[in-house]
Copies of this chain bind each other. A is one copy, B any other.
Amino acid sequence: MGYRDGVKTQLSDVMEHLTPYTPGEQPKDGAKVVKLNTNENPYPPSPRVLEAIKAAANASLRLYPHPDAGPLRAAAAQHFGVTEEQVFWGNGSDEVLAFAFLALFQKSQPLLFPDITYSFYPVYAKLFGIPVQQVPLAADFSIDLSQYAQDAGGVVFANPNAPTSLSAPAEAIEAFASQRPATPVVVDEAYMGFGAASALPLVEKYPNVLVVRTLSKSHSLAGLRVGMALGHPRLIDALQRVKHSFNSYAVDRLAIAGAMAALADSEYYDHISQQIVATRDKTTQALRALGFIVLDSSANFVFAKPAGISAKELFEALRARGILVRYFDKPRIDEYLRITMGTAEEMQGFVDAVGAIVSSGG
C-alpha cells in the first residue's frame, strides 16, 4: 500500500459508540473439530432443499430476486396460516432483528430486554442510538415478565432464551402483550422447534407482537441466511419500509428456492428435531449424573454448570481435545458452558471427554 501520511479521513459519529457483536469461533471448513459452539444443527439440510438450490442455480440468477421474496412470502403465509401481509423475510434473523430495532423501537424511551440474552440486542441498540434498560433474569435464570412493567419503547427477548435454553410459558407472554398494547413486543424465536411453545398464535390477536424466526437452526440452513418475522400487517409494513430504505433485495434467489423447499419438507425436519431433542435429553442426564447443574432446555443446546472443575477450565480442556463449546466471561454466567447439541455420536464423545477430564481433575 502506498498511502502517504496526512490528514485522517473523518468517519461517522456513529463509529464512536459501537461495540460490535463477536460471532462464535468459526474453524476453517474441513478442520477436525467437533463444533458445539454456535448452535448450528448437526444434521444436513433436507435433500430436497439441496435439490431446489441446484435447480435454481440457472440463468435466472442474472435477474434481481423478488424484492419481498415473492413466492417464499406466499409459501410462509400458507405454512403458518397467516396472510402474506403478516410475513417479512430477511437475510437471516439477525437482519430481521436489525430492521425491527430500527422500525419499532423508539429513542425517547428505553428498550427492555433481559440482562442475560442474545448479545446482539445491546449491539443493535448502540448502533441505532436506542436507550436500553436490562432487566435481570430471575435467580433460576427464567424471564419474569412481571419485572417489565415500566414505561418502555419496546421489549425484546429470546424464547427459548440464549444462552440459558429456558423457555417462557406462552400464557405469560400473552398476558404481558395484552397488558401493554402500545408497546412493540419482539419475541425472538431463533431456537423454536425443539419443544418450546411458540408465540405465533399471539400475532393473530395482538397487533403489538412480532415473532422472529430463522431457518438457521431448526432447518439446518445457517449457511443460507434466511430469517423471517410474523406479525400484524402494520408492523410488517414498517419492516418493509425500513428494508426498502436499506437493501431492497435482501433475500437472494437461491435462498428463496432453498427456504421454500425447507418449509415444504416438515417430515424431514420434524425427524431431525426429534433426534436433537432425544440427544439433548440424554446429554442432560449424562451431565447431571456427573454432578453438573443443567437447566431444562427447550432449545438445541444446553446450559450447564460443571462440577469438580470450573467452566473455563473445562472449556479449555475440551478445546485441547478438539471440542468447541461456548464460554461467556460475563457476570452470573461465567460458571456455565453453552453446549450445542451435535449428533448422538458426537455427544457421546463429548460426554466421554467430559467424564475423562473431570475424573483426571482437569
- Listed in ascending order, the chain A residues whose CB lies under 8 Å from chain B are 1-4, 6-15, 18-24, 26, 29, 35, 38, 40-45, 49-50, 53-54, 57-67, 82-83, 86, 91-92, 94-95, 98, 102-108, 123-124, 126-128, 153, 181-184, 204-208, 216, 220-225, 232-235, 238, 240-242, 244-255, 258
Contact = CB atoms under 8 A, between A and B. Distances in A.
A60 B223 CA distance: 7
Most B-side CB within 10 Å, residue of A59, A98, A248? A248
B21 A244 contact: yes
A221 B40 CA distance: 28
Given A220-B62, A222-B64, A249 B1 contact: no
Nearest to A181: B7
B42 A53 contact: no
B208 A11 contact: no
Contact of A65 (B4, B13, B102, B225): B225
A11 B104 contact: yes
CB-CB nearest 7 A-B residue pairs = A44-B59, A20-B244, A223-B253, A61-B223, A62-B220, A9-B208, A127-B245
B62 A57 contact: no
Q: How many copies does the complex hold?
A: 2
A245 B66 CA distance: 26
A62 B44 contact: yes
A224 B238 CA distance: 25
Given A9-B184, A222-B64, A224-B61, A83 B40 contact: no
Nearest to A246: B98
Nearest to A102: B14
Contacts of A64: 23-24, 26, 38, 40, 216, 222-223
Nearest to A39: B64
B252 A107 contact: no
A223 B252 contact: yes
Contact of A204 (B2, B232, B254): B2
Contacts of A22: 244
A94 B40 contact: no
Contact of A26 (B67, B107, B182, B250): B67
Contact of A42 (B3, B58, B62, B182): B62
A208 B9 CA distance: 5
Contacts of A127: 102, 242, 245-246
Contacts of A247: 91-92, 94-95, 98
A182 B15 contact: no
A268 to B, nearest CB: 13
Contact of A94 (B12, B50, B104, B249): B249
Contacts of A3: 204-207, 232
B61 A220 contact: yes
A153 B15 CA distance: 14
Nearest to A27: B63
Nearest to A65: B223
B9 A53 contact: no
A224 to B, nearest CB: 5
Given A8-B234, A9-B235, A222-B249, 13 more contacts: A3-B204, A3-B207, A9-B234, A11-B104, A12-B153, A29-B60, A40-B63, A49-B61, A53-B254, A60-B223, A124-B245, A224-B253, A252-B255
